Amino acid sequence: MSNPRLLLASQSPRRRELLTLLGLPFGVTVADVVEAPQPGEPPYDLVARLSQDKAHAVAVPPDALVIACDTVVALEGELLGKPRDAAEATAMLKRLRSRPHTVYSAITLLETTAGRALTQVAETQVVMRAYSDTEITAYVAGGDPMDKAGAYAIQHAGFHPVAELRGCYANVMGLPLCHLTRRLRDWEIEPPNDAPTACQAHIGRRCATYAAILNDL
């Protein structure tokens, strides 16, 4: 596919921010999909299905390559989606406090002209720090948790909720860039910017997993 027009099917400002780091031009559209699990659906399967549903739900120009994403948080097998209100956000953050959980993000690339699609799921293990009830109250009052799975943003400078992380940091933000880069190469698309370098500079931390993600998936 030569000179494709990339179309990000997401209203998330964090995903737009991360995709910009690759240096590829892209458009943005919004997929109208009900983000609800099916009975007994595991987190891995849920994010894969929802990213696929989102990719197929948007109006796609003939020359476009759609990038659709979905992210969920799983705490001991229980899904934590986006909180419906401040009370639910507070409850989620209290449940997550000082405990490990897993963040799953799926990326689906869809080229409708050729009838070609590919889905990649990333997993990151996260341990939250022992933040106080006062910190939770202040964070929730600021409104930041309301559009985020698990009610938190890992990159939030004021709350900084995460104590430990194993895996891709950008995955927790909602768009694992090295996973995406690996999949874009299946369409012979090489981003102008090196994904690991750009991502590490943006998040301000070193990554120990990018080589394995890019080369050994």
CA distance 24 to 180: 12
Nearest 10 degrees: CA dihedral of 168, 7, 64, 70?
50
Helix (H) or strand (E) holding 131: none
Closest to 127 in 3D by CA, of 154, 88, 106, 147: 154
Burial class (CB in 10 A: 0-12, 13-18, 19+), 128: buried
Contact 117, 111 (CB under 8 A): yes
Q: Is 70 a catalytic residue?
A: yes
CA distance 188 to 100: 37
Summary count for the chain: helices (H), strands (E): 8, 7
Contact 106, 171 (CB under 8 A): no
Catalytic residue among 53, 70, 144, 216: 70
Residue tagged 């009900």 (tokens): 34
Catalytic residues: 70
